[in-house]
Structure 1
Amino acid sequence: MDSTLLKGLMLLEHLAGSETPRGVSELARALNLTKSNVHRTLQTLVAAGYVRTQTGGTYACTLKLFELASPVVARLDVRQVAEPFMRTLADQTQETIHLSLLDRADVIYLHKIESPQPVRAYSSIGGRAPAYCVASGKALLAYREEALAHLPETLQVHTPRTIATLDLLRRELEQVRIQGFAINRGEWREGVCGLAAIVHDAMGRPVAAIGISGPADRLNPTALRRFSDVVVDAARSLSRALGYNPITISSPTAPRHARGSAPPRAPAAVA
């Protein structure tokens, strides 16, 4: 067990629970540590950005703890809040419904509702797929472009329809932002298509994607166009339930169309 790490975490937790900044002597007494030990640990936390120095030689936590915890909280909240919207979408489309998150260059299926159809798309909760190959991943990548840094210029091809280069992917993501939806045309698994839309939280951050997937013979281009409105509406409704208001959001992570005006349809992509 790393005692240095434990002391650092104890110190951080104590500061986080304190209503006022604390000095070295106070912290040493409260945690039964030496002042030199507390001072060294505080300097490490300051250097890492978790603690800042205050006037009078005291210390307080920065907002980095909030930034660290926010994605975890969002993942937990979005699944619970998403359930009724996913159920409605399942009733409307009769296809498999996914709620997905972005992890580096992959999507992770956080939750799903199976299609009642005898032939349906296979996936599992906790499963992964390359984000550039699936609709939910494209929807997320369109608003999380920093994730493209995890991809090579030449992309691995999984089917004849897979986007093969980063340049082509960037062009498609731009189209996602313009048209309000994106499509997976059998790019991850041959014969499986889908549609997904981006979900924003109360801070305007793209935290998830909600979408449908199914066999290509059912989710043909006509069906995808028909279902795009209901998928986008589900994503919008879920975003509102999470506290998202595009009129008031103006952060850099909010979608371009959300700054000061109501957006057109949220981006959809095939799950």
Structure 2
Amino acid sequence: MSQLEDPDKYRAPALDKGLDILELLAGTEEGLSQAEIAKALDRSPNEIYRMLDRLVRRGYVRRTSADRYEVTLKLFELAYARPPLQRLLSQALPVMRRFARDAEQACHLATYDRGALVVAAQVDGPGYWNVSIRVGSRISLVNTGSGHILLAFAGPDERRLMLDEQDPPEGLTAALEERLKQVRRQGYENMPSRQIAAVSNLSVPILGPMGRVLAVLTCPYSERLDVRTAPGRDRVMEMLIGCGEEISQVRG
């Protein structure tokens, strides 16, 4: 069997064990005890204790006062520190803050990661009322404005790989394919949110060299009824398009 056919040829059991613990804890809100972790991973308490001790000492996991373990933000900090992403955020955030102030709406920037988009930055609007999404949230490709932008500007092979990486995988329906063609032609997405009533997903691409999508800038637009001077949806869409082009020019 060739190396390409044997993904476990160079297994690292200790590393796998540590990653299993991190992935398990990342999916819980209140943390887990050592016994709960051992049971969930079908490991002995001694195995789990040694690995937890190392993860705590390295700052990836913390032990709470209730004797439970939870992940820290260290992994996110490492991802944020990647030079390409850090440069993108340093260039995008001033533009995003200006948009949020002028449009009186929140906005967020998302990048692709293993079958989904992950929110890398988020800026609130200036008022008390905002529709926003937390940094680190994972966004679907098929039913969000951000996902439609990413898929619309991807090539056929790349798009298929993205859809296959979803959990669970989803194919490209005829209706979605037609929508993506329209998005590609017009250069933006403007669609009703499929998660929150009375909210519109306004999304534009952040393009790099060769027209490749580096990220997606989205405004979850909600109409303000109490502020008559706030820009309407069409105007906000125009402002967002301008911001996307501005960031893309800096990145190009």
> 1:173-212 counterparts in 2 under 5 A?
173-212=180-219
Following superposition, the deviation at residue 73 of structure 1 comes to 4.1
Does residue 85 of the first structure (1) align with residue 132 of the second (2)? Answer: no
Does residue 224 of the first structure (1) align with residue 233 of the second (2)? Answer: yes
Following superposition, the deviation at residue 217 of structure 1 comes to 6.5
Distance 1:237 1:213 in 2: 20
Distance 1:82 1:176 in 2: 22
Asked whether the 8 Å contact 2:122–2:132 carries over to 1, the reply is no
Asked whether the 8 Å contact 2:107–2:132 carries over to 1, the reply is no
Q: 2:146 aligns with which of 106, 112, 136?
A: 136
Asked whether the 8 Å contact 1:193–1:216 carries over to 2, the reply is no
Residue 151 of structure 1 corresponds to 163
Q: 1:48-102 CA deviation, whole Å, 9 max, x = no partner?
A: xxxxxxxxxxxxxxxxxxxxxxxx5432221111011111111221111111112
Q: 2:249 aligns with which of 195, 216, 240?
A: 240
How many residues are matched?
Answer: 163
Distance 1:84 1:210 in 2: 13
Higher mean displacement: 134-143 or 187-196:
187-196
Distance 1:183 1:137 in 2: 12
Unaligned regions of 5+ residues in structure 1, if any?
7-71, 157-163, 245-271
Distance 2:117 2:124 in 1: 18
Q: Which amino acid aligns with 2:190?
A: I
| Greater relative contact order structure (CA < 8 Å, 6+ sep) | 1
Q: 1:6-41 CA deviation, whole Å, 9 max, x = no partner?
A: 9xxxxxxxxxxxxxxxxxxxxxxxxxxxxxxxxxxx
Distance 1:107 1:129 in 2: 5
Unaligned regions of 5+ residues in structure 2, if any?
1-9, 13-81, 226-230
Larger Rg: 1
> 1:101-140 counterparts in 2 under 5 A?
101-140=111-150
Among the aligned pairs, what percent are the same residue?
A: 21
Higher mean displacement: 139-148 or 110-119:
139-148
Distance 2:102 2:143 in 1: 25
